[in-house]
Amino acid sequence: MAEDRRNGVRADVSGTDASTSRAPTDGGSPRPLGEVVASTVNGFRTLYRQHVELARIEATEAAGVRAQGAGMMAAAAGLALYAVGFLAAAGAAVLALVLPTWAAILIVAMVLASVAGGLVAVGRRTIRTAPPPVERTRQNLKEDVRWAKTQLAR
């Protein structure tokens, strides 16, 4: 049995229900080997398609989180540009009343650089904490391999 992580349901990967995969109880003959092989192949095809779909979903989710972090970093860059243009000039002009002009400009630049650096740090943390794109798929594949080995050992 393989477990679908999205809805917590166990499914028979052979593509048949449990009653047709056993030998009949009415004294009839078991299913032909060709039917069993075809059922197994169909089950693995279905399982493969499900894993590909899960990997696609995970990659989409991870890309969304990374895009959000990249958006924060772009906002930080925009903020830094506007800050240099507007706040630096105004702040430096105010400080130039009590300090030398060069000192006033340096103080304003350092404050704005600190704000931009903080936004970059938050954006990087968001990108780094995003889950790996295919971790759940990798775990499901490992579980399916263990399950298949136990089924073949019977």
Question: Per-residue pLDDT for 14 more than 70?
Answer: no
The average pLDDT across 33-56 equals 85
Q: What is the pLDDT of residue 60?
A: 85
| Rounded Cα gap, residues 89 and 52, in angstroms | 55
Question: Per-residue pLDDT for 23 more than 60?
Answer: no
Handedness of CA 93, 97, 99, 101 (dihedral sign): positive
Question: Per-residue pLDDT for 120 more than 90?
Answer: yes
pTM of the model: 0.37
Residue predicted with more confidence, 131 or 122: 122
pLDDT-based confidence at 27, cuts 50/70/90? low
| Rounded Cα gap, residues 105 and 111, in angstroms | 10
